[in-house]
Amino acid sequence: MIGARIHQARKAAGLSLRELANRVELSHTAISKFETNQLKPSSGQLIKLARELGVRGEFFFWPLTVAIKGVEFRKRASLGAKAMDRIRGDVLDQAERWQELLNLYPSPPIPAFTIPAGIAARLHTEEDVEATAEALRAAWSIGLGPIPELIDLLESIGVRVILTSVADQPRFDGLSGAVGDAPMIVVGGDWCGDRQRFTLAHELGLMVLKGRLAPELLERLRSPRKDPEERLCDLFAGAFLLPRAAISGRLGASRHALELKELDLLKHEFGLSMQATIFRARQSDIIAPGIAERLFREFRGRGWHKNEPGEPYPPERTQLFERLVYRALAEGYIGESKAAELLKMPLSRFHRQRRLESLHAVAH
C-alpha cells in the first residue's frame, strides 16, 4: 500500500525517481525499492517524502479504493508522459475523494448516468448525429436555448466532472473515463469557459455516439488530419451547445457575411467560441464554405485562433462535491475533521468557512 501511494504521489508531482531521491537525500534505488515494497521507509523518511510530494503523511496509509477505467486523453502528440502522469495523479486523488464521500451515504445522492430511451441505435449520416444532439436536449427538457451551466447539467444526470488544477498544459485537451460505473470528464479548471464547455460536450458526444456510428459513415469521413469519430463528436458538441434552430434564429437562414460583434454576442449567449460558431453557421448552411474559410483565414492572420478578441467567456465551476460534503456533515455521516480532510483544507479554515466568516472579518 505504501509503495503504491509513493509511486502515485511521485507521478502526480511530475518527478522522476532521481529527482525525488535528490530532494529527500536518498538514492533513486531506495525510492524504487520503496515503491515496489522491497524496502519500508522510516517515519522520518515518510515525513520528508510527504513534504516534497505535497501530501499529508496519512496519505501513504490510505487503501487504494478507486480505479479509473477507460481513460482517453484528448491530446495532441506532444503532450509528454510526465505531463500525463501529473494530470492522472490529480484526477486519481479527486476521484478517490469522490468515491470516499459517496460511500458515506446510505443511498446514492446522485443519479446513475443513462442514455435516454429513443436515441437511435445506428447513425448513418451527419444529420443523424445532429438529430441525436437535439433528441438529448428534448429528453433532458433543455429546449433550444442556451445552457447556462453545462457542468451543473452533466452532474445532474450522473456524469462526474473533475476540474484539474494541473491542466495548464497548452496541449492538453481533456480526458474522459469512468470511476466505477460513473462516467467521468476532466477539463482544466482555469480554462476559458467556452473551451471547457466544448470539451465537456465533445466528451458527452463520445459517451452517446460510441457504438452507434455506422461503419460506412466513419469510412466516408476518414482523413489523415483527424479521426472521423473525433470529427463527429465535434459536430455533436456544436449541435448540442448551439442547435441549428437557435443559430438560424439569431443569424438568419442565409448570410453573405458575418460581423465580428455578432460572433461575440453569440459566444456570450451560448458559451461557444467564435470559431466554433463559424463552424456551426457553415454546418447549418447559413454561410457558404468560402465565407467560413475567409473568416478562419482572418482569425489565423490576426492571431485570434489562439486568443479570440473581446472578453473571454468565464470558466464554469463545480459545487456538487462541496455541497455533498456539507450535506453529509449536516446528516451526521461525518464530523468536521473528515469534512475538512475531504475538502483538503486545514480544520481552522474549514471552521471559518462553515461559519461563513471571511479572513478579513476574523482579523478585525
Task: Domain ranges for the chain, please list them.
Answer: 1-64, 68-333
Outline where 59-213 has alpha helix (H). Answer: 81-103, 126-139, 150-156, 193-209
Task: Tell me if 259 sits within 8 A of 158, measured CB to CB.
Answer: no
* Residue 77: per-residue pLDDT: 46
Cell of 4: 503504491
User: Who's near 170: CB < 8 A, 6+ residues apart?
Assistant: none
Nearest residue to 49 (alpha-carbon basis) of 97, 8, 91: 8
Per-position pLDDT tens, the chain of length 364: 788 888 878 887 778 888 899 998 989 899 998 989 889 999 888 989 988 887 777 778 766 666 665 556 555 545 677 777 778 788 888 888 888 899 899 999 999 999 999 999 999 999 999 999 999 999 999 999 999 999 999 999 999 999 987 655 566 777 788 877 789 999 999 899 999 999 999 999 999 999 999 999 999 999 888 899 999 999 999 999 999 999 999 999 999 999 999 999 999 999 999 999 999 999 999 999 999 999 999 999 999 999 999 999 999 999 999 999 999 999 999 999 999 989 988 899 999 999 998 655 444 4
User: Who's near 252: CB < 8 A, 6+ residues apart?
Assistant: 286
Q: With respect to CATH, is domain 1-64 assigned 1.10.260.40? A: yes
HSE-CB of 356 using CA atoms within 13 angstroms: 0
Separation between Cα atoms, residue 311 and residue 169, nearest integer Å: 22
Predicted TM-score of the model (pTM): 0.84
Task: Tell me if 185 sits within 8 A of 96, measured CB to CB.
Answer: no
* Residue 69: per-residue pLDDT: 59
Buried b (16+ CB within 10 A) or exposed e, 154-180: bbebebbbbbbebbebeebbbbbbbbb
Pairing of the two strands 182-188 and 172-179: antiparallel
Taking the CA atoms of 143, 144, 147 and 148 in sequence, report the sign of the dihedral they define.
negative
Count Cβ atoms below 10 Å from residue 348 Cβ, excluding itself: 10
User: Who's near 57: CB < 8 A, 6+ residues apart?
Assistant: 46, 47, 50
Task: Tell me if 252 sits within 8 A of 286, measured CB to CB.
Answer: yes
Separation between Cα atoms, residue 134 and residue 247, nearest integer Å: 13
Task: Write the burial class of residue 103 (CB in 10 Å: 0-12 exposed, 13-18 middle, 19+ buried).
Answer: exposed
CATH class, range 68-333: mainly alpha
Cell of 174: 481533456
3-state class (DSSP) for residue 271: coil
* Residue 168: per-residue pLDDT: 54
